Structures are given as C-alpha cells and as structure tokens.
Amino acid sequence: MTGKERAIVEKTAEFVKEVLINAESGHDWWHVYRVYKTAVLIAEKENADIFTVSLGALLHDIADAKFHNGDEEKAPARARKFLTETGVDKDITEKVIEIIRYVSFKNRDEAAAHFSKELAAVQDADRIDALGAIGIARTFNYGGYKNRAIYDPAIKPSPHQTKEEYKKSSAPTINHFYEKLLLLKDMMNTETGKKLAEGRHKYMEEFLERFFKEWEGEL
C-alpha cells in the first residue's frame, strides 16, 4: 500500500472503533480487528488487493443488520458516506460496498454472483472468526445477549435454512453449530482460508463431543 492508503486504513480503523464502542462483544471492534488481520494475511497469500481488503474487513460490520432491525442498507450507506468523505476512489468504494453487502453467511447464495478475490478474503476471514475457541465464545455470548437457551434436546437443528428462516431463528445456541458453524469449513473460498479453518473446525467438533457427554453427566 502507498503512504496515503495506509493513512486511510488507519483513519478507517479509528472510525470503526468509535462507531462500535458499545457493540455486543461478539461483533465489536475486536471482532473487526481479528477479521482485518486474517483478511490481510489471506489477501497476501491469494494476491488480492490489500487496500480494498483492509477497508472491506474494517467496515464489514459497521452496521450489522441483526442489530439494526434487519436493515441491510444501513451498513452500505454508512460505509459509502465515510469512504466518500475520506476521499477514497469511487471504484475502490464500490468494491468495498460489494464486500459489505455479500460477506454475511445469510447472503451466501447471492455472493457467488459478486465474487472477487477481495470479497473471498474478507468472507473467509469473517467465517474463520466464527470457528474455534473464539467462535465458540462468540456464539454463546450472542446467545446470552438474545436470552436464548443453551440447548434443548427437543428442538432439533435445521441446517438448510433459507435466508429468511435463518434471520428469524431463535433456536438454542447449540443448534447454531449445526445450522452454520460446522458448515463453514467447506464454504471457504481460498486455499489459505481452508487451511486456517481445519484446526478450528476440529476443535469445535471436540467441544461438542464433550458438551453432550457432560450434558448427560458422563464426565
């Protein structure tokens, strides 16, 4: 990146920190920071544009729809305003907006038509942060935030939900592993993402095995 681009990335990071200062801790600045660091790593390995990836990763959760009454236009609008006022090139801005629109798991069916190396890097990084120890912590934190049951044997997971079913779900937190998290490893776009996902996926499988044993009082 050029010196000017690095300065814009730093300004973007400060903007995101300020906006997300009171965010739910699974979708706060530190989530964004982890996604940013991983996305840049993937971009370097996969020859994606680092500047675009950096901005896309930093802004990808600037107004997550699930915390804004399902409004999926709020994040693109807020990001566009910031990038325009910051003087980011129009073409780069449009690429960043594409990342914000299609990075989410719930938009996976639409994302394929908007594929780019940059979207792939940020999407993989966001999915990786939903895996492993961090992913488990974030999942239960959000479940607590929404006052959901940890587990209910009578409520079975529904792993092939439509976008609307996924958005409306209020199932127990354990179900989320089967409805999303355990599916992510095989949804990675890049070779780098696939490698990073392997160990985290295995850790979640081991966690669930122990969880169900403890649920039945076996350990």
- In this structure, what token pair is assigned to residue 6? 């690095």
**Which segments of the chain have a pLDDT < 70?**
65-71, 105-114, 161-163, 165-167, 219
Please tell me the predicted confidence (pLDDT) of residue 114: 65
Please tell me the predicted confidence (pLDDT) of residue 112: 65
Please tell me the predicted confidence (pLDDT) of residue 171: 86
Confirm if 28 and 70 have CB atoms less than 8 A apart: no
Please tell me the predicted confidence (pLDDT) of residue 107: 54
CA distance 199 to 93: 34
Number of other CB atoms surrounding residue 206 within 10 Å:
10
Sign of CA dihedral 204, 188, 1, 17: negative
CATH of domain 3-215: 1.10.3210.50
Please tell me the predicted confidence (pLDDT) of residue 108: 64
CA distance 75 to 25: 18
Please tell me the predicted confidence (pLDDT) of residue 73: 81
Please tell me the predicted confidence (pLDDT) of residue 170: 80
Dump pLDDT digits (tens) for 62-108.
877 666 666 678 888 999 999 999 999 999 999 999 999 988 766 56
**Owner of token pair 């409805």:** 179
CA distance 128 to 184: 8
CA distance 39 to 52: 10
CA distance 200 to 31: 16
